[in-house]
With several copies, the nearest count.
Chain A
Amino acid sequence: MMITKRQYFATVDKGEQEYTIDIVEETSNVFTVSIDGKSSTVDFARMGDNLYSIIIDGRSYDIDITEKGDIFSVLMGGDHFDVEVLDEMKRLMKLRTSAGLEGRQVIEAQMPGMIWKVLVEPGQEVEAGQPLMILVAMKMENEIKAPKAGVVQELFVKPDQTVAAGDKLAVVE
């Protein structure tokens, strides 16, 4: 069996602190994971679609991991962590893009639903927090607000359109 080694850089809940993680796959299911040099033996087993049993040096955890790109939403015992895990290349790319595109905000749907009303037009100036449109899901109205002041560059949706979580709704720049 080939041994896999990887190094990742991770942040938690969009925090400042960056953790360096080194992983070695020792045998089937068993990994050695070091976080900033502190090493643990980890037995990792899948229980169901997103459900995992993880044993770290004898501690047993029942964890739900939802993967969305490089962001892992980790739910354990009522605690929720959003962990971004990047390898060196992705980390470099991210540093570059976040420098370059700061002024341009792509607004994505945070939940699936139906666009009930669109309140702005392309070219319109908006303030930070100004509602752009109203999305209805499960009998509740949700205002989609401008994350910053700027001009509405693009609108990707129309009223009565159904959207999935993650669909692009608008661009404010």
Chain B
Amino acid sequence: MPDIIKKILVANRGEIAIRVFRTCRRLGIKTVAIYTHADRTAPHVRYADEAYCISDTETDTSYLKADKIIEIAKKAGAAIHPGYGFYSENPTFVQRLEEEDIIFIGPSAEHIKLMGSKTGARNAMVEAGVPVVPGTKNAIRDVDDAKKTAREVGYPIMLKAVHGGGGKGMRLVNSEEDFDSAFRMASSEAANAFGNGDMYIEKFIVGPHHVEIQILGDKHGNALHLFERECSIQRRHQKVIEEAPSPFINDETRAKMYEVAVKAVKAIGYHSAGTLEFIVGSDQNFYFLEMNTRLQVEHPITEMITGVDIVTEMIRVAEGKTLTYKQEEIFRNGFAIECRIYAEDPSNNFAPSPGLITVYETPGGPNVRVESGAFAGYEVPLYYDPMIAKVCSFGKTREGAIIAMKRILTEYKVSGIKTSIPFHQRVLKNETFLAGNYDTSFIDTKFDMEDLQRKEQKDPSVALIAAAIKQLISEKISAQRSVTRRDVGESNWKRFGRLTSLGNRLG
């Protein structure tokens, strides 16, 4: 008998909590929010039917409160959706829920654990016939053997320190003649840095793309894919723009990737939503990187090109039902792009920009989807991820989705804090991006900071005029302030109107 979920607690905050609540509200499922003291005014709190504070003290900003969350879920009779981050890929938490008989809307603890281990995941995928980046993984003991491996893997290869990290003790080797010297230097560097000179061989992927396949599985052995997302536009290893489908991979690659992804999901018996991340070389060869056993930030673009509500499917699967769709009922329609809007100042090296949002106008019109965790009057707290919203556009063609996004971003107004919107506007004008011909090095190599600094409008006249008038008005208001004093207690907006007309009219 399937368990019917009547109430869902989202063990998360901000836009993703609201995203899950939206599906619940549509399905008539009651919702429970948790919040910290710092998040009392966050929009997910007022969106929910119930809301419980999990902070121990006023300064406690943590959402990692398993005991409290479990207590609330039990008392409220709610299943738990983890969102992304926080407890979403924590097998211990999921294990506890299983023990406490609370439904977890996500995969099993074992699958989370398996995919959380790099080696475990790699082995499971190799077993399921999924290609992984070729190499040895074991320390090189014999240089000649190693060269043989390198030949099999195919140059260029990377020599990597077994105990390394942070980019140190790595050497790119383009051909066999460079192997000996590269191996010596890298090994000695590794020995110095990590106290161990062991090295292994990995194929070096030229022009790497980050392409991921969205999958869904249920507890009855059914699994399907919802096509791919291209996530190669990254800054500081953070995705900033994603699109579906990928403009890079060809249909043959696509078909192969879908096939291995679904095969792997079935092989390991995975259920709920998940994503297989691949690195794809410029030669269209693809290799498994890791599997994310959760709902991803960028899932809306997949929903837009398929019409599938991934959260609905996750809930169904958690109830023990079968997926709504069979693979042959899933169609791809059009193109979708997502821009992640961060509270960061792109004109100041992307410095975090928390604070009070004074103006918040979200884009309207056709072909737009906004998943936001902000509103006018909201103070973006210091303590959490700087992503305040995701904005997605849709088009029948990739070009259509891009020009829609350009239009959409011009309508997105946020005052009080700085956001990454101007950064996105620049990327959308970059020729390499427009050609759909970018890899993961895009931000560093193709989109330099010049792109960001470059102005559409070279003439600063309008800015000069605006600033000068604002200065004049501010001077008048301070002059006015020194002679008049006003009452407290009038409406905020009345006062705003009065200040405006004061600024405009006083002479």
The interface bits of chain A over 18-51 (1 if a CB of B lies within 8 angstroms of the residue's CB, else 0) are 0101010100110101010010101111111111
**Which of A75-83, A97-105, A123-131 is near enough to bind chain B?**
A75-83
In the complex, A25→B465 CA distance in Å?
Answer: 13
Q: Is B119 an interface residue (CB 8 A)?
A: no
Q: A142: which of B351, B500, B505 is its contact (CB, 8 Å)?
A: B351
Which residues of A lie under 8 Å from residue B345 when comparing CB positions?
111
Q: Is B207 an interface residue (CB 8 A)?
A: no
Interface size in chain A (residues, C-beta < 8 A): 69
- What number of A-B contacts does a CB cutoff of 8 Å give? 221
Instruction: Judge whether A23 and B359 touch: CB under 8 Å.
Output: no
- State which residues 42-73 of A face B: CB under 8 Å: 42-56, 58-67, 70, 72
Given known contacts A47-B41, A79-B455, A112-B354, is B465 in contact with A40 (CB within 8 Å)? yes
Q: Is A2 an interface residue (CB 8 A)?
A: yes
Q: Is A8 an interface residue (CB 8 A)?
A: yes
Given known contacts A66-B415, A111-B352, is B46 in contact with A76 (CB within 8 Å)? no
In the complex, A162→B410 CA distance in Å?
Answer: 34
Of the candidates A4, A28, A54, A138, the one having the most CB atoms from chain B within 10 angstroms of its own CB is A138
Instruction: Judge whether A60 and B469 touch: CB under 8 Å.
Output: no
Which residues of B lie under 8 Å from residue A67 when comparing CB positions?
470, 474
Which residues of B lie under 8 Å from residue A74 when comparing CB positions?
463, 466-467
Which residues of B lie under 8 Å from residue A1 when comparing CB positions?
505, 507
Instruction: Judge whether B470 and A48 touch: CB under 8 Å.
Output: no
Instruction: Judge whether B504 and A50 touch: CB under 8 Å.
Output: no
Q: Is A12 an interface residue (CB 8 A)?
A: yes
Which residues of A lie under 8 Å from residue B151 when comparing CB positions?
none
Q: Is A6 an interface residue (CB 8 A)?
A: yes
In the complex, A43→B383 CA distance in Å?
Answer: 22
Given known contacts A50-B415, A83-B460, is B353 in contact with A3 (CB within 8 Å)? no
Q: Is A161 an interface residue (CB 8 A)?
A: no
In the complex, A139→B345 CA distance in Å?
Answer: 15
Q: B358: which of A50, A52, A83 is its contact (CB, 8 Å)?
A: A50
Instruction: Judge whether A78 and B354 touch: CB under 8 Å.
Output: no
Given known contacts A4-B507, A111-B351, is B468 in contact with A54 (CB within 8 Å)? no
Q: Besides A48-B361, A59-B462, 4 other CB < 8 A contacts?
A: A8-B471, A12-B463, A78-B409, A78-B422
Question: Can you list 18 A-B pairs with a CB-CB distance of less than 8 A?
Answer: A4-B476, A42-B469, A48-B377, A51-B359, A54-B466, A60-B48, A61-B466, A62-B47, A74-B466, A78-B422, A79-B456, A81-B460, A111-B354, A112-B355, A112-B382, A113-B382, A137-B351, A137-B354
Nearest 3 CB-CB pairings of A with B = A49-B358, A72-B467, A78-B425
